[in-house]
Structure 1
Amino acid sequence: MWAVFQPLLEGGDAFPFGAAFPKSTFELHWFSSQPPYVACDGGRIVGMYKMGANYPDHGAHVASATYAVARPAQGRGIGRLLVEHSLAQARREGFLAMQFNYVVGSNAAAMALYRKLGFAIAGTLPQAFRHRELGLVDAFVLHRFLEQE
């Protein structure tokens, strides 16, 4: 999983963490509570997500997730499958909504996907992300309710 995540950090265009982000911190975040979900192609991990409560206690009814798709696998619908799976999983676990706290506005593919899947911008974090090529860009808080089956 580190082999998927680490090159994305080096890209400097989607995650708030830089290329020097330690593998030990990655492992702590991704493996500390619920196990992550992975998408495989030919026995190789090509995408993954981690989901859980956005906040404890009074905010525990809202889920949040972090997704990563390997650069060579991007554009093949894997991100969509991961997000759709996480929404269904969140419903199964009894969450009422899904919220993303920090989506980089210049990540056009992610923003388009989230909007197609019913997310709306709940807040703007002006110039919150220092993009390697574009300079300071906005990040967004995205939210959607989960319809209960």
Structure 2
Amino acid sequence: MISIRQATGDDWASIWPIVQEVLAAGETYTFPADLAEDFARDMWLEKPPGCTVVAVDEDGVVLGTAHMGPNRPGPGSHVGTASFMVSSAARGRGVGRLLGEYVVQWLRDAGYHSIQFNAVVESNTAAVKLWKSLGFTVIGTVPEAFRHPRDGLVGLHVMYLKL
């Protein structure tokens, strides 16, 4: 049983190792692998109108996390965005799908018009497949915009879902 709940400041101790692991792999985010913890915390723990959530198992172990909110301020604030991270130990258990479904519904309920993911690494085929299964489309790809540690230069997709 996996549930999703709003994250609190106390969850950071469980979120940070996931963030470190994902960034150290260098395969899916455009942040430095050695991102400082204070910066990462400020970036990941969204302030209103955004929200950060955690996916937890029946024992309360944090398996993954997501944060969502407006993609841009002001006249662009009706378009939402989100980011997701799942621990390697929890991959393949549907955590990403549960987080994705939760975020889409949260943004819909919050009155957003659509969702834009700004930089989905095209070689991250599991994520691209998941987002497409949730109704997102690739509306453009910036060629060779991401230095993948194994695949070299790969594109970054912009993905979109009208709510």
Alignment of 1:55 with 2:72, yes or no, is yes
Cα 1:114–1:133, aligned 2, differ >3 Å: closer, same or farther?
same
Partner of 1:75: 92
Q: Hey, what's the Cα distance between the residues in 2 that align with 1:32 and 1:145?
A: 22
Identify which range, 29-38 or 77-86, moves more after superposition: 29-38
Of 35, 54, 74, the match for 1:21: 35
Residue type of the partner of 1:50?
Answer: H
- TM-score norm. by structure 2 comes to 0.87
Q: Write the letter of the residue equivalent to 2:131.
A: Y
For residue 36 of structure 1, give the secondary structure of its aligned residue in structure 2: strand
Please, which runs of 5 or more residues in structure 2 have no aligned partner? 1-14
Residue 44 of structure 1 deviates from its aligned partner by 1.1
- Report the alpha carbon displacement of residue 32 of structure 1 after superposing the two structures with TM: 4.5
- Residue 56 of structure 2 corresponds to which residue in structure 1? 40
2:158 alignment partner, one of 138, 141, 146: 141
Please say if 1:103 is aligned against 2:120: yes
Aligned to 2:10: none
Structure 1 segment 2-13 matched on structure 2, within 5 A: 2-13=16-27
Matched length? 146
What's the TM-score, normalizing by structure 1? 0.95
State the one-letter code of the partner of 1:17.
F
Q: Which runs of 4+ in 1 moved over 3 A?
A: none
Residue 104 of structure 1: how far off its partner (Å): 0.2
C-alpha contact (below 8 Å) 2:52/2:65 kept by paired residues: yes
**Matched residue of 1:102: which SS?**
strand
Stretches of structure 1 lacking an aligned partner (at least 5 in a row): none
Cα offsets for 1:8-60 (capped at 9, x unmatched): 11111111112211111111112251341000112111011000000111111
Greater CA deviation, 88-97 or 28-37?
Answer: 28-37
Give the alignment's Cα RMSD to 1 decimal: 0.9
| CA distance in structure 2 between the partners assigned to 1:120 and 1:108 by the alignment | 14
Q: State the identity as a percent.
A: 39
